[in-house]
Structure 1
Amino acid sequence: MHRHAFFPLTLGLFGCAVASDEPATRDAPGAEPPGFVDARETPTGPAPAIDAAPASTGLTCDDSTCVDPSTGLTWQSPPDDSARTWADAVAYCEALTVAGGGWRLPRVQELRSLIRGCPNTALGGACRATDPGCTVRACMEGCDQCATTIVNDEPVCLWAPGLRGSCRQAHWSATEYTDSIDPGAWYVDFGHGAFVHGWLRSQPLRVRCVR
């Protein structure tokens, strides 16, 4: 059974099926986010025209980037292994010079466009989180995780084939929450059932930049 709670309460564990002899564990926020907040703020610049499920599953990749032909987005691949606070994640992407620069932190629906194998959180699924459009608490409805699979103590990443990097920890999006005691932002946890949720911006998560 899924349980939802909002800041300052602690979120409870969400059920998941694990293809392993060991129980699935969720390190923060793959453990449970201690709180999440809500936002009507959006990053500057035009919103990407991404509002439906990707038409293809694969990416076109080179040594440092992957292009998704279904969205036209170019993704940093692989990202570095550092976890960053939300503000540091924004600054990191803006300063990134890999493959010519021009990077930024992705909006929540852009991260969702990478989800494969979890129809409810992939674009076009039950999850309504999108920026701009639906960034408030009610938009979490339908954003619960799918089954988590563990192989050799590593989660199977529910993202597009060809994408490199670790999914042991969730990835920050640029989409903020602002209606709670502490500021937060949306994240996508590709390694724990493609879970879409929010967490405190002061906490460190993984970063994958986009352009």
Structure 2
Amino acid sequence: MHTKHRLFLFFLFTILNSPFFIPNSAQAGLPDTGQTKCYNSGGTEIPCAGTGQDGAYSINPMSFADNGNGTITDNNTGLTWQKCSMGQNNDATCSGSAVTYNWYQASGTYDASYNPSTISVCGSLSLAGSGWRLPTKKELMGIVDYSIPSPGPTIQQAIFPNTVSAFYWASPTITGNTNLVWYVHFGYGGVVFGSKSYTYYVRCVRG
């Protein structure tokens, strides 16, 4: 496992176990990360028993249902996901190539330079119904499978085939700097923020 992957998981574990952290999806069932390994402070893998680390627990294991119409239901959160990345063919293997967009286009936000015609990638998606949107970073992290080592893709490929081991957009902006937004890397599961003008991949959600 890559060092930055381990550091990210330690940070995630610390936050999720903070007494001040109350997930919005607590009642729906926060999905397990899929992480199965544990490490000491030096980064060496150790037995998980008694460590209290994420890998020692399996609560609400990932569970998905393929609806057979290009959508996937997360049985823990109740969210409905686009099976294929935007730009791929809506078939069993998600054939074809995913397409990248800047954040303004992905979220349907007007910008004179980057989205003058107000393209709304998720908002205009018509796939077994409407109501699609760009996921939050927490929602997007909920489909990352941290048991899969880098270079990934760190996602269940039987459910979300042909996912790109790269960044996917999330919706929220950074507090105090609305020019920066979150995105999640499906090569190692990291959560990063950067400029809205970058071009990354998109998987829409509804619910």
- In 1: Cα distance, 2:172 partner to 2:159 partner: 25
Kindly tell me: are residues 103 and 48 of structure 1, through their superposed partners in 2, closer, same or farther at Cα, counting changes over 3 Å?
A: farther
1:19-43: per-residue Cα shift (whole Å, max 9, x none)? xxxxxxxxxxxxxxxxxxxxxxxxx
- Aligned match of 1:85: 102
Q: Going by fraction, where is strand more abundant, 1 or 2?
A: 2
Look up the equivalent residue of 2:153 and give its one-letter code.
Answer: C
- Aligned match of 2:30: 52
Look up the equivalent residue of 2:183 and give its one-letter code.
Answer: Y
Shift of 1:15: 4.9
CA contact (8 A) 2:5 2:190 kept: no
**What runs of 5+ residues in structure 2 fail to find an aligned partner?**
7-22, 33-59, 88-97, 108-119
Look up the equivalent residue of 2:106 and give its one-letter code.
Answer: A
Look up the equivalent residue of 2:186 and give its one-letter code.
Answer: F
| 1:179 to 2:186 alignment | no
- In 2: Cα distance, 1:105 partner to 1:15 partner: 26
Shift of 1:115: 1.5
CA contact (8 A) 1:176 1:184 kept: yes
Shift of 1:169: 1.9
**What runs of 5+ residues in structure 1 fail to find an aligned partner?**
3-13, 18-46, 119-145, 150-155
- Any idea what SS the aligned residue of 1:184 has? strand
Shift of 1:58: 3.3
1:122-201 equivalence runs, <5 A = 147-149=149-151, 156-160=152-156, 161-180=158-177, 183-191=179-187, 193-201=188-196
| 1:106 to 2:101 alignment | no
CA contact (8 A) 2:72 2:83 kept: yes
Shift of 1:183: 0.8
- TM-align CA RMSD: 2.7
- Any idea what SS the aligned residue of 1:183 has? strand
Look up the equivalent residue of 1:189 and give its one-letter code.
Answer: H
Look up the equivalent residue of 2:25 and give its one-letter code.
Answer: A
CA contact (8 A) 2:168 2:185 kept: yes
CA contact (8 A) 1:172 1:206 kept: yes
Kindly tell me: are residues 188 and 16 of structure 1, through their superposed partners in 2, closer, same or farther at Cα, counting changes over 3 Å?
A: closer
2:199 to 192, 204, 210: 204
Q: Which has the higher contact order (CA 8 A, sep 6+)?
A: 1
Kindly tell me: are residues 48 and 65 of structure 1, through their superposed partners in 2, closer, same or farther at Cα, counting changes over 3 Å?
A: farther
Percent of paired sites with the same residue: 27
1:67-91: per-residue Cα shift (whole Å, max 9, x none)? 1101100000112211010010012
- Aligned match of 2:80: 74
With structure 1 as the length reference, what TM-score do the two structures score? Answer: 0.56
- Aligned match of 1:128: none
1:17-32 equivalence runs, <5 A = none
